Amino acid sequence: MKSIERELICPICEELFTQPLVLPCQHSVCHRCVRELLMPNHDDSLSTDAGSESSNPGSPRARVPSPSMEKLERLVRSGSPLLHCVCVCVCVCVCVCPPVQEATKSCMDCKASFCNECFKMNHPWGTPKAQHEYVGPTTNFRPKVLMCPEHEMEKVNMYCEVCRRPVCHLCKLGGSHANHRVTSMSSAYKILKEKLSKSIHYLISKEDQVRTQISELEEMMRHTEENGQLAERRASEHFEHLFETLQERRTEMLRSIEQSRSLRVERLRVQVEEYQGMLENSGLVGYAQEVLKETDQSCFVQTAKLLHVRIQKATESLKMFQPAATQSFEEFVLDTSKEELLLKELSFSGVPAPPVIDLSRCRVYNEGLIHWRLSEDSLPTDHHIVEFRKLGSEEEQESGWSASEPVFGCSTVLSDLSADSSYTFRVKSCRNRVYSPSSPEVTLHTPPAPVFGFLFNEKCGFSAERLQLSKRRDSVESVAGMSLLLAAERVQTGSYICLDYIIGDTGISHGRHFWAFRVQPDSYMVKVGVASDSKLTEWFHNPRDTSSPRYDHDSGHDSGSEDACFEVSQPFTLLAVGMGRLFIPKASASAAGDHSSRVLPMPQRIGVCLDYDAARVFFYDADTMRCVYERPVDCSGTMFPAFGFLGGGAVHLEEFITAKRLSYL
């Protein structure tokens, strides 16, 4: 039925025939489709008559206008699954229709397909059509001339050597290739054709080598299959052996438990029977009561003597009651933690050793920079995978580990970490699709606020004579010597000493932000904190007196007590660091958890968190994210990171701090 239905479908409109016409080529089409495709300008009555006559082989045939090539191509595509000669399908009987012929050539200029006879007829010698380009039968007729995709009306006539593509003259004059180096199409054609020819000749000359390599690859494929199956069998045998060993050990240990259980139960059962004999009207007690009824003295003495010994033993047993066996099986508790760990680390001999995370180089902010190292005797690796998870609620714990994309070096950056949170990280290596055991887990804590990015500002209060700034403006070093200190004004009073200040180039006017840095261990005295722009201008333009920022009141004994004074007029809120120590003001020593000392060891990295909206500044040990000191701060204007130097010292900003230049103004 389906084949019959297909015969009733018009190949052009793909609907059931309406007034079907049978063409001499034996194709059937609707009368309406013939009129639309082949006779668009023909009168309807003539078309109807012509269609009626065309179904009768004996009727005279009328000449009809030639259809357009587009309509013919549409008819060819829809009329038959095979590629036929276009002349067979276009004739509506002006002549005797030839039998159906498959196309043997396709003319790229005519954009049509022909059989041999029709091709010769339509491309006679001595005419321009004889020069038409033809290929084998095809329905893909590319344009004869390549046109520019950017300028549809222009032909490509040049070749851009930068973009390696054909272009037109408009592209070169003012288009996207104006500044590119171009060459003529003929030159590009010659060069590319020569290169292609050489490549083809090289491949042809290496045909034997290619065949040999193909044979080698096929042989390698066969050996790979065999070796892979052999490796699977051997691995399976090893696991079977482990299973057998475990099963044997399991049987032995369960047998030991069963034997001990049976022995203990038997001992306790015997003890129960002995004690039951002590009960009245049964056993020893009943027998003793019967002996007491004996009236013959000689018989009583003979019997009671032995009975008394037994009763005496029973009495002693009652006084010193001790179960015959213990009910605990603690000595049979099985600890398999080490074995489980060994089984988890079970791997092939070709798997590299697990890496080790290098905590000294790891940093976590909004993103986590994780570094690791491999053992010296570790095998080569293909890549590494970093796994991490957030510590906190049970839901977060149950969410499992997240994994990074394959990493081909020994470090990676993990994005979108939450603030003030703890994360656990681990790394494993992969070689030949087999993963090593995971590295020991490490836990790192993110800062209490998003990272604030800035560089040192060399334009505000910066003294080029006493401070040296790195080219990247991420490090500053004080080179002040004793001569400068001795030459400072009022140094002889002992009340004021010379300080050099520098601030960040980006300010904060809202929100909560965190930055971190390293103070060079051999620094004499560095003060770190924040400064207000509304007061900086006034300070830096004051005369060099006690209100000048060049002079900071100091008690002379490095206690940092002067930092405890919160003066509204001062632009700086600072904490003293130096000589390997961090000085906590007396008023807030308890905030650091140390009630007896105001001096703490200097952290390797110091963090500062400014809560602009709450008007408070916090100082952290950036390695452990432990707050060591906090105090109020006047946030009346834009706040900037600030640093002060007394004597020699240096501060280095963290890479994460300087890598992102964000606007907070």
* CA dihedral sign, ordered 11, 13, 14, 19: negative
The answer, yes or no, to whether residue 13 has pLDDT greater than 80, is yes
Round to whole Å and give the CA distance between 468 and 474.
11
Q: What share of the chain is helix, strand, coil (3-state, %, to 5)?
A: 35, 25, 40
Gap between the Cα atoms of 255 and 624, Å rounded: 52
Domains of the chain: 1-40+70-135 (no CATH), 187-319 (no CATH), 356-446 (2.60.40.10), 467-488+498-540+570-585+597-663 (2.60.120.920)
The pair of structure tokens assigned to 472 is: 């990247």
Q: In the structure, what pLDDT confidence band is assigned to residue 47 with cuts at 50, 70 and 90?
A: very low
Structure tokens at 369: 């920079």
Residue 370: predicted pLDDT: 93
368 φ/ψ angles, rounded to the nearest 5 degrees: -115, 125
Closest listed residue to residue 368, CA positions, set 342, 389, 341, 394:
389
- Is 141 exposed, middle or buried, given 0-12, 13-18 or 19+ CB atoms closer than 10 A? middle
Instruction: Work out whether the CA dihedral 651, 654, 657, 661 comes out positive or negative.
Output: positive
b vs e for 603-627, b when ≥16 Cβ sit within 10 Å of the residue's Cβ?
A: bebbbbbbbbeeebbbbbbbbebeb
Residue 272 gets the label, from left (phi > 0), alpha (psi -120 to 50) or beta, of: alpha
Residue environment code for 458-482, b if the CB has 16+ CB neighbours within 10 A, otherwise e = eebbbeeebbebeeebbbbbbebee
pLDDT, averaged across the chain: 77
Judged by DSSP in three states, 240 sits in helix
Going by C-alpha positions, the residue among 98, 67, 63, 79 that lies closest to residue 27 is 79
**Res 37: pLDDT:** 67
* HSE toward the beta carbon, residue 328, CA cutoff 13 A: 3
Amino acid at 250: R
Region 500-511: mean pLDDT is 89
| pLDDT recorded at residue 617 | 94
Query: Two tokens at 498?
Result: 């010379």
Q: Amino acid letter at 112?
A: A
Q: How confident is the model at residue 3 (pLDDT cuts 50, 70, 90)?
A: low
Residue 96 has pLDDT above 60, yes or no: no
- Percent share of the chain, pLDDT over 70: 73
Among 53-57, 108-112, 157-161, 257-261, the range scoring the smallest mean pLDDT is: 53-57
Say whether pLDDT at 508 is over 70.
yes
Rounded CA-CA distance 357/344 in Å is: 20
Q: How high is the pLDDT of residue 618?
A: 94
Taking alpha carbons only, the member of 464, 580, 568 closest to residue 519 is: 580
The three-state secondary structure class of 374 is coil
Contacts of 397 (CB under 8 A, 6+ apart): 389, 391
CB-based burial of residue 8 (10 Å sphere; 0-12 exposed, 13-18 middle, 19+ buried)?
Answer: exposed
Question: CA 523 → CA 357, 476, 652, distances in Å?
Answer: 30, 12, 12
Structure confidence at residue 129 (pLDDT) = 85
pLDDT tens profile 59-95: 333 333 444 445 444 454 444 433 455 454 443 337 3
Q: Which two tokens stand for residue 3?
A: 């084949």
Across residues 500-522, what is the average pLDDT? 90
Predicted confidence band of residue 559 (pLDDT cuts 50, 70, 90): very low
Q: Using an 8 Å Cβ cutoff, are 540 and 460 in contact?
A: yes
